[in-house]
Amino acid sequence: MLDLINEIWQTMRTNKLRTLLTGISVAWGIFMLIMLVGLAKGVYNSFADGDFAKTANIVQVWPGYASLPYNGLKEGRAISIRNSDLEKIERENAAEVDYASAMINMPSTVISTSRDYVNSGYIGAFPEAQEQLVMSHGRFINQRDLEAKRKVIVIDKKRADILFGRDDKAVGNTVNMAGLTFTVIGVYDHKWKNDIYIPYTTAYALKGYDGKVTTIRVSATGINTMEKAEALEKNVRATLGKAESFDPDDSSAVWIWNRFSNYISNQKAMGILNTVMWVIGLLTLITGIVGVSNIMFVSVRERTHEIGIRRAIGAKPLKILKQVILESVAMTTVFGYIGILLGTVGTEILAHVFEGSDFIKDPTVDVSLALEVTLVLIIAGALAGLFPAMRALKIRPVEALRTE
């Protein structure tokens, strides 16, 4: 084995420039493969850790307008969704529904303190509405707030700064809204959300007990395929159709956002993106592999006389085959690992550049990717040396000995 390693090393040293130029193309191919796959991974991580992915099990329902007549009722009428529908959805879809909650959107009003004021609408919400919110100070609405119909409020950081001068001063202080005094129990910070929340039961009382709600939120359980997600959506629509007197096939009567269906579609898109990046990277790598194959062909041609002598003194064809293939694998692996090193450094730079970005998160290389690229290197090196090795086996000892 040591003799074989020395022979491979001697061959590479003999043709330094040719080996270097060919190796650079291999290293570049591996570098681009890692960078592209790293970028795809960063986009996927951003999607997987985003607000949308964290709430993929939610189905949201808004009232619409009937487009089909039903039981003597004409099309074009407004459809309402009601507080009483929550229990019906939970009861009739118990196998798929974990719970159903609602939100009430209230019109814009003045919210003031002794320091300043803002104009804003507000939302009556259940505790589940906190799904996308990170609290900077205090807490979100809880079940006891609902049961006691407490006059408490959760505001965003920007409005807290306006109303109290500093967001960390807001919790425990009061604001005036809709002619009532509300105690601030929490301040949240979000990149694009700026809603103001009060307990659902409090908003329900302020609105008047007419039973109507703005949005129904259904939390699903055990939904892991597109078919199950679509079946849940159909069942929820059917339940509401029976309760609110509209055709269950009328898609305009209520508007449903099935987040899981969108999540599955986006996952497929992420899978396609990852595949495309691998394909582009491998095609780039192929150019380097072709270069390795060409240099091995040249090497075999230059060593025709040597191969002939070795065959004449009894070297077995398998040994010749093995040497040529191992030379190719060695060249590909050495420069390939240089490409892996550069690619790793490149993805670390990308991670630093896109730190805090909403689109790319942690594009760095992990152990599994390194192992995958290593496997690609070994296979590519073997394939690059296979055809030159087969040519070497076809050299007849007599003809090779005549070659100078």
Please tell me what DSSP assigns to residue 84. T
> CB of 156 within 8 A of CB of 140?
no
Token look-up 């920007």 returns 158
What is d(CA 256, CA 151) in angstroms, rounded to the nearest whole number? 31
- Which of 6-10, 14-18, 135-139, 193-197 bottoms out in mean pLDDT, i.e. has the lowest? 6-10
Distance of CA 3 to the CA centre of its chain: 50
In angstroms, what CA-CA distances link 158 with 53, 150, 171, 187, 245? Answer: 26, 24, 14, 9, 43
Residue range 29-52, pLDDT digits in tens:
888 888 888 888 888 777 666 655
Q: Residue 378: pLDDT above 90?
A: no
In 3D, which of 307, 254, 322 has the Cα closest to residue 85? 254
Q: What is the pLDDT of residue 80?
A: 93
**Between these two residues, 317 and 399, which has the higher pLDDT value?**
317
Backbone angles phi, psi at 197, to 5 degrees: -120, 140
Q: What is the pLDDT of residue 214?
A: 92
What is d(CA 27, CA 377) in angstroms, rounded to the nearest whole number? 10
Q: What is the pLDDT of residue 375?
A: 78
**Between these two residues, 320 and 96, which has the higher pLDDT value?**
96
Residue 394, number of CB atoms within 10 A of its CB: 9
Burial class (CB in 10 A: 0-12, 13-18, 19+), 189: middle
Dihedral (C-alpha) 318, 321, 326, 329: value to the nearest 10 degrees? Answer: -130
Q: How confident is the model at residue 139 (pLDDT cuts 50, 70, 90)?
A: very high
Q: How confident is the model at residue 127 (pLDDT cuts 50, 70, 90)?
A: very high
Percent of the chain with pLDDT over 90: 34
3-state secondary structure 211-226: CEECEEEEEECCCCCH
Residue range 283-301, pLDDT digits in tens:
777 777 777 677 666 666 6
Two structure tokens written together for 345: 């450094």
**Between these two residues, 281 and 152, which has the higher pLDDT value?**
152
Contacts with 295 (C-beta within 8 Å, 6 or more apart), sequence order: 15, 18, 19, 22, 331
Q: What is the pLDDT of residue 344?
A: 86
In 3D, which of 186, 119, 179 has the Cα closest to residue 152? 186
Two structure tokens written together for 82: 């009601």
pTM above 0.75, yes or no: no
Q: What is the pLDDT of residue 7?
A: 59
Backbone angles phi, psi at 98, to 5 degrees: -80, -50
Q: How confident is the model at residue 237 (pLDDT cuts 50, 70, 90)?
A: very high
| E strand or H helix at 350 | helix 317-353
**Between these two residues, 399 and 196, which has the higher pLDDT value?**
196
Distance of CA 354 to the CA centre of its chain: 15
DSSP-assigned letters across all residues of 172-230: T-EEEETTEEEEEEEEEE-SS----EEEHHHHHHHH-S--EESEEEEEESS--SHHHHH
Residue 178, number of CB atoms within 10 A of its CB: 15
Q: Residue 149: pLDDT above 90?
A: yes
Q: What is the pLDDT of residue 138?
A: 95
Two structure tokens written together for 107: 């019109």
Q: Residue 311: pLDDT above 70?
A: no
| Pairing between β-strand 174-177 and β-strand 97-112 as defined by DSSP bridges | antiparallel
Q: What is the pLDDT of residue 66?
A: 94
Q: What is the pLDDT of residue 310?
A: 67
Q: How confident is the model at residue 229 (pLDDT cuts 50, 70, 90)?
A: confident
